[in-house]
Amino acid sequence: MYDKLWLIPFFPLVGSIINGLLGKRFIKNEKIIGAIGTGAIFLSFLVSCKFFYQLVNDSVKIHETVVASWMSVGNLQVDWGFLLDPLSAVMLMVVCGVGSLIHLYSIGYMHGEEGFYRFFCYMNLFAFSMLMLVLGNNALVMFVGWEGVGLCSYLLIGYYFEKQSAGDAAKKAFVMNRVGDFGFLLGLFTIFWTLGSKHGVWTINFVEISEKAHLLSGDMILGAGVTTVATLCFFLGATGKSAQLPLFTWLPDAMEGPTPVSALIHAATMVTAGVYMIGRMNVLFAMSPTTMMVVAVVGALTAIFAATIGFAQNDIKRVLAYSTVSQLGFMFVAMGVGAFTAGIFHLMTHAFFKACLFLGSGSVIHAMHHALHHAHLSDDAQDMRNMGGLRKKMPITWATFGISCLAISGLPFFSGFFSKDEILWWTFASTRGSKVVWVIVVVAAFMTAFYMFRCLYMTFYGEQKTNPKAKDHVHESPWVITLPLVVLAGLATVGGFVGIPHVIDVAHIGNKLDQFLAPVFHHSQQLHNIEAHGTASTEIILMIFSVVVALVGIGVATMMYLKNPDMPAKFTAKFSKLHRWVFNKWYVDEAYDVLFVNTTKKLGIFCWRGFDVNVIDGIVNGLAKLIGAISTALRHTQTGQFHNYALTMVFGTVVMLAIFILN
């Protein structure tokens, strides 16, 4: 029944090969290339829908199919095998669904770019790798995907390789991801080796690892539990891929790539691979409270840290990038407090609204770019200070962007509300939760609402600050761009209803997502006694509190950035006293300036410049420099002189013999 699973990654692979080989010389036509690329991933989407539907109605929820034997090394048998369970099914729908929309969008966005075929070739290759990552039934197939998505990300960040900054960004992403990969491999080998050498189970199959994981409970390595060491290594892998502290600085730089790439790879799918991986190995993570605490704390710190930096950004894509880092932090908090379902839920809703936000920003940048180009200006098309008042010019983009802002801020009944609320509740009430983490996350949620609305207001409201020459050339984008926006905005609005919390479930629909994912997560949650316990009234109070927090964030942003030129004048005329009391710009702004703008902006700039640029980049660059220095030193041993070579040989011999004799 499920033996056709291989079709899902197969279509994008074929699409990629066709466009890669024939795109430049034979097809040439942008429409055909775009249709092939989009069609390939859309076919995968249809197949995924079929399997998803099948799985929902199936009583058995975990299915493995083996396409071919890959290798048998000693007593280890590895297959090209796929695993369809509720977790991978949800991911499939997200990757293929959002992926299809972004492919469609790219046809419009990339129109006229040099290397159009190359773009679609890479995008399909990315989709293929991501689907391998999601579907793999063992760690090696997952690693194939894991490396593949990294490679595609690297290629796509450096897409505009004539730009120096794009090349540097690609390099940075590469270095940080390799650090992560190193962790992933170490973790894998630790589990594999301990299970094999101590318990005779040589396997890298996820289902088998989950079944046998309990054997590892007493094992120690390096003075700590094996599961703790291994899961920490895995988590290091996740921090690299999913841009968490301290390996997050590559993600904002990755915005050098084309915007659809940012939406697909650096917001909706690839960067969530780390979260997915933890979900896949939840049995192992649940065994180690230490690791889970580390995950939650790192996630929370990343969430608040990136949100702070988001204040100081004026580049629309960088705001969204830091917001992505911050939201990924939320997901890791969820994983860390044992709310696996909530983490995956937020992953899904985040894919909807963040993809929509990125595509919306792309639509704006696209329009700005054309207008500026038309007027022969070289202003920055991504700088929000050049925008403003685009609401009238780009109504669809505005509406969808606004809806997504409401969703990400967690306003009731938008998708982000449900997922964020579930995370907050678990953080507060879970047996693995922590009140301190909860406070940090709530503050981060407040900041999220604030800077997202700041971004919305600066872009779409107020006076248009675009150069007058270009002002009138800003137009709404074509349908291939707006259609995905509308669909994603729709999903961002209603997508949350699959996971309605029990306390407000008046219609008794039930938390569908939780029920669906139960076969994957409930076992380990029950085994390790991970649950959220609290009274319904506490939950409702917390929920109201988080809504209030979001509203305050939005309110502050509204006061600050929604500068309607008429309003102050009218108010001054009608209620001059009240105005002076409440709406006097001087009080509010001044107070805000003192309390908020200056301090947080300074904090934001400090975090960004001081920590991000100096410390993290310093470490990365320092490492690169150290390796470079070693390499140069080694290069200078290569003198080309016969005597030096012969002497090294003899010296090596003498040293070897000395070691040998001393032994």
Partner 1 sequence: MSLSDLLAMLPILILAFGATAILMAGAWYREPLPLLAGGIVTALLGALSAGLVTPPVPEIAGLFSAGGYARFYTILWSLLAAAGLMTGSRYIIEKRIGAGEYVSLVLYAAAGMALLSSATHLVGLFIALETFTLAFYILIASNRNCALAAEAGLKYLLLGAVATGFMAFGIALIYAASGSLVLPDAVMRLKAETGELQAWGLLGWGMILIAVGFKISLAPFHLWTPDVYQGAPAPVTGLLATGSKGAVVAALVGLLAMSGPVWNDLTDLVWLLAALTMLAGAFGALGQSNLKRLLAYSSVTHMGTLLVGVLCQTSEGFAATTFYVVVYVVTSLGAFAVIASLADGRGEPMTFDQWRGLGYRHPVRCGVLVLLLLSLAGLPATAGFMAKFAVFHAALQSGYIGLLMIGILASVISFAFYLRVTMLLFQPDEKASSWHQGSVFEHTVLAVCSSAVLVLGLFPGLLFGLIRQILP
Partner 2 sequence: MISVYHYMSVAAILFAMSTYGVLTRRNAIVIFMCIELMLNSVNLTFISLSSHLQNIDGQIFVFFVMAVAAAEAAVGLALMIAFYRNRESIDVDNINMLKW
199 binds, among partner 2, partner 1, none (CB under 5 to 8 A by kind): none
Question: Is the sign of the CA dihedral 609, 365, 376, 469 positive or negative?
Answer: negative
Interaction between residue 178 and partner 1 (CB under 8 A)? yes
Report DSSP state, residue 60.
Answer: -
List the one residue from 7, 14, 185, 551 that touches partner 1 (CB under 8 A). Answer: 185
User: How many residues line the site for partner 1 (CB under 8 A)?
Assistant: 57
What is the nearest approach in angstroms of partner 2 to the Cβ of residue 167?
25
Please tell me the distance from the alpha carbon of residue 321 to that of residue 266, in angstroms, as a whole number.
8
**Between 537 and 637, whose beta carbon lies closer to partner 2?**
637
Interaction between residue 223 and partner 1 (CB under 8 A)? no
Q: How far is CA 573 from the centre of its chain?
A: 49
Q: Are 250 and 111 in contact (CB under 8 A)?
A: no
What is the nearest approach in angstroms of partner 1 to the Cβ of residue 261?
17
Selection from 491, 520, 253, 228 nearest residue 354 by Cα: 491
Helix (H, G, I), strand (E, B) or coil at 43: helix
507 binds, among partner 2, partner 1, none (CB under 5 to 8 A by kind): none
Helix (H, G, I), strand (E, B) or coil at 137: coil
574 binds, among partner 1, partner 2, none (CB under 5 to 8 A by kind): none
**Could you tell me where the DSSP H helices lie in 375-434?**
390-393, 395-409, 415-429
CA distances from 469 to 87, 247, 370, 474 (A): 52, 42, 12, 11
Please tell me the distance from the alpha carbon of residue 356 to that of residue 359, in angstroms, as a whole number.
5
* Site track 8-47 with partner 1 (rule: CB under 8 A), x = hit: ----------------x-----------------------
Please tell me the distance from the alpha carbon of residue 146 to that of residue 169, in angstroms, as a whole number.
19
Please tell me the distance from the alpha carbon of residue 449 to that of residue 323, in angstroms, as a whole number.
10
Tell me the two tokens of residue 74: 């000693």
Select from 156-164, 295-303, 344-352, 546-554 the region that touches partner 1 (CB under 8 A): 156-164
**Between 158 and 362, whose beta carbon lies closer to partner 1?**
158
Which of 404-423 are b and which e, b meaning 16 or more Cβ less than 10 Å from the residue's Cβ?
A: bbbbbbbbbebbbbbbbbbb
Interaction between residue 621 and partner 1 (CB under 8 A)? no
Interaction between residue 305 and partner 1 (CB under 8 A)? no
**Between 164 and 638, whose beta carbon lies closer to partner 2?**
638
Interaction between residue 660 and partner 1 (CB under 8 A)? yes
Please tell me the distance from the alpha carbon of residue 303 to that of residue 661, in angstroms, as a whole number.
58
List the one residue from 57, 164, 537, 663 that touches partner 1 (CB under 8 A). Answer: 663
Interaction between residue 53 and partner 1 (CB under 8 A)? no
What is the nearest approach in angstroms of partner 2 to the Cβ of residue 357?
50
Kindly give the interhelix angle for 340-374 and 395-409, rounded to the nearest 10 degrees.
150
**Between 59 and 632, whose beta carbon lies closer to partner 2?**
632
List the one residue from 143, 206, 250, 353 that touches partner 1 (CB under 8 A). Answer: 143
Interaction between residue 644 and partner 1 (CB under 8 A)? yes
Interaction between residue 657 and partner 1 (CB under 8 A)? yes
Q: Are 147 and 240 in contact (CB under 8 A)?
A: no
Tell me the two tokens of residue 245: 């502290």
631 binds, among partner 1, partner 2, none (CB under 5 to 8 A by kind): partner 1
What is the nearest approach in angstroms of partner 1 to the Cβ of residue 233?
11
Selection from 263, 252, 255, 239 nearest residue 158 by Cα: 255
How many of the other CB atoms lie within 10 Å of CB of 224?
Answer: 14
Interaction between residue 635 and partner 1 (CB under 8 A)? yes
**Between 21 and 595, whose beta carbon lies closer to partner 1?**
21
Selection from 347, 349, 331, 340 nearest residue 518 by Cα: 340
What is the nearest approach in angstroms of partner 1 to the Cβ of residue 128?
11
Tell me the two tokens of residue 384: 């929000």
List the one residue from 29, 467, 598, 631 that touches partner 1 (CB under 8 A). Answer: 631
Kindly give the interhelix angle for 139-157 and 116-135, rounded to the nearest 10 degrees.
160
How many of the other CB atoms lie within 10 Å of CB of 502?
Answer: 11
What is the nearest approach in angstroms of partner 2 to the Cβ of residue 621?
24
Interaction between residue 220 and partner 1 (CB under 8 A)? no
Angle at the Cα of 319 (from 268 to 238), degrees rounded to 5?
45
Half-sphere exposure of 473 (CA within 13 A, CB side): 18
* Site track 54-73 with partner 1 (rule: CB under 8 A), x = hit: --------------xxxxxx
Interface with partner 2 (CB under 8 A): 635-636, 638-643, 646-647, 650
List the one residue from 53, 161, 479, 587 that touches partner 1 (CB under 8 A). Answer: 161
70 binds, among partner 1, partner 2, none (CB under 5 to 8 A by kind): partner 1
Interaction between residue 189 and partner 1 (CB under 8 A)? yes
List the one residue from 14, 93, 151, 551 that touches partner 1 (CB under 8 A). Answer: 151
Please tell me the distance from the alpha carbon of residue 40 to that of residue 17, in angstroms, as a whole number.
11
Kindly give the interhelix angle for 273-280 and 316-336, rounded to the nearest 10 degrees.
10
**Between 26 and 479, whose beta carbon lies closer to partner 1?**
26
Helix (H, G, I), strand (E, B) or coil at 1: coil
Selection from 506, 350, 489 nearest residue 422 by Cα: 350
586 binds, among partner 1, partner 2, none (CB under 5 to 8 A by kind): none
**Between 193 and 596, whose beta carbon lies closer to partner 1?**
193
**Between 233 and 255, whose beta carbon lies closer to partner 1?**
233
**Between 197 and 644, whose beta carbon lies closer to partner 2?**
644
Q: Residues interacting with partner 1, by CB under 8 A? A: 24, 68-74, 76, 140, 143-144, 147-148, 151, 154, 158, 161-162, 167, 170, 174-175, 178, 181-182, 185-186, 189, 192-193, 196-197, 627-628, 630-632, 634-635, 637-638, 640, 642, 644-646, 648-649, 651-653, 656-657, 659-660, 663
